[in-house]
Structure formats: structure tokens, C-alpha cells
Amino acid sequence: MGSNPPIVGWSADGLWFWDGLSWNDAISPDGHFRYDGRGWQPFGGLRSPMPAGAFGQPPAPPLPVSAGWVPPAPEIAAAAPAPPPGPIGPGAPSISPPPNPLEAVLPPAAPLAPLSPPSSAPNPAQDDLPSWLDPREAERIRIERRASAAAVAAAAAAPPRASAPEIDWTAMRSNYRYSPTAEAPAASWQTGPISAVIYFVLLLFCPIACILFVLRGARWSSTPRAIALGAAVTLWGLGIVLRVTSAILTSGQ
């Protein structure tokens, strides 16, 4: 048979949560936020004392006080007897005041210890983590906060970086050269058999377009480009010569 689940619940004012074993504070250490079971909510009230009994138990009745009871007074040592009166006049010796009876009871005050500078490490009792948070998760959050604070302190304490020397743009301008740029990838019609077919078709029907294709369109190496360009220019020149000759012969008839 399984054990009964623990009884959990909130106090009457909603500021304390009973987890089955003990009461947990639902108010943050700074008193500005309250955890309602789903998240932190702004809080502007006062922190109430922790309930005395367990959740669901009635509070214990107050202790009876008798009518004639009086709290005991602190014990004070009897005052020392006053010294006998002496002569009064110009030649009378000076009389010291009677000692304080409390000096015989109270011990001498210890010297005050010098105050140590406040530690930069976060105090677990003063952080904004609730008491019911898992200790491992709380320790992880504290470690992250300490690492972040150490990084900020190290960045603030680091010496400033030396500024880079100024660039002499005059010398850069005198030695300026155009940097080689990468060409775009060639299309399928600019290389290979397709470019050769285009070249021969243009060479037969329009040598000028063939010359432009070799100079601007084709992506060939220098040697094939020179051969193709020479053939196109030769055929174009031959076509011009044939046309001029034909025109002369036609006009002579």
C-alpha cells in the first residue's frame, strides 16, 4: 500500500508555503516581489512572521500569566559607602567624586575591531533566490553571477588598447594598383561544343557577329581565341574583297 502524499498549502496571508515538511518564504529578500506559485509578482506589503505550527494545525494557545507576576529586576551591586565629610575651606584637600556602582558590575568594554571592507562575493542569504529553490540550481545561478561579475571587473581593470597607427593614404595612393577580380562562371554556350557550333554558324552567315562573339562572348583560352579571331577576320576581309570585285565587274559591263 503506497504512502499518503504530503499535504501542501499556503498560509492564510499567502506569504508562506508549506511543502509538507517546513514553511518556505514566498517574499524575495528585498521585499519587492512575491511568488504566487506561477511567477514573481510585485509586492508592496509587509513580511509576516512564519507560522508557528504545521499547515492545517491550529495555533498553540498563549502561556498563562499570573496576575501578581513581576519580571525580575537586574541585579545591581550595592553602592559603596560615601566617604566621611572632611574639612571645608581654602586649605581643605580636594574630594574625588564617589565611584560609579555600575563599574564594579559591568566588565570593561572590549576595543572595537576594525571594520573589514565589504566582500564582493554575493551572500546566499541576501540574494533574490527563494528558499524553496533546488540547492544545485541555486548554486549554478550563483556561480554564473560570480563569473559575470568577475568578467565585468576584469574588463574594467584591463589597460586600454594601444591605438593603431594612422595609415599614410598618400603612399597608398601612389602605389595603388587594380586588384585582379574573379570572373563569373562561364555559361554553357560560352565554352565547349555549343560555343564551337555558334562560332561556325556566325562565321558562315555573319563574320562581324562572329568576331564580336569571339571577343566578348566565348570563354576560350588565348590560343584558340587568336586562331578563331584570325579566321573570322580573314573570312570577313575575303567577303569584302569578293563584293568589291563583283561590283566592279558588274559596273564594267
Coil, strand or helix at 248: helix
Model pLDDT, residue 85:
47
* Alpha-carbon distance values, 143 to 37, 99, 118, 137 (Å): 25, 58, 19, 10
Model pLDDT, residue 71:
56
Q: Low-confidence residues of the chain, pLDDT below 50?
A: 1, 75-89, 92, 98, 101-102, 104-105, 124-125
Q: What is the per-residue pLDDT across 126-173, written as a single tens digit (0 to 9) for each?
A: 567 888 888 899 999 999 999 999 999 988 887 777 777 777 777 777
Q: What is the per-residue pLDDT across 231-253, written as a single tens digit (0 to 9) for each?
A: 888 888 888 888 888 888 888 66
Q: Per the structure block, which three cell numbers stand in for 208?
A: 562581324
CB proximity list for 245: less than 8 A, separation 6 or greater: none
Q: Per the structure block, which three cell numbers stand in for 93?
A: 584637600
* Alpha-carbon distance values, 198 to 63, 195, 205, 223 (Å): 114, 5, 11, 18
Name the average pLDDT for the chain. 73
Coil, strand or helix at 33: strand
What are the residue ranges spanned by the domains of the chain? 1-56, 192-252
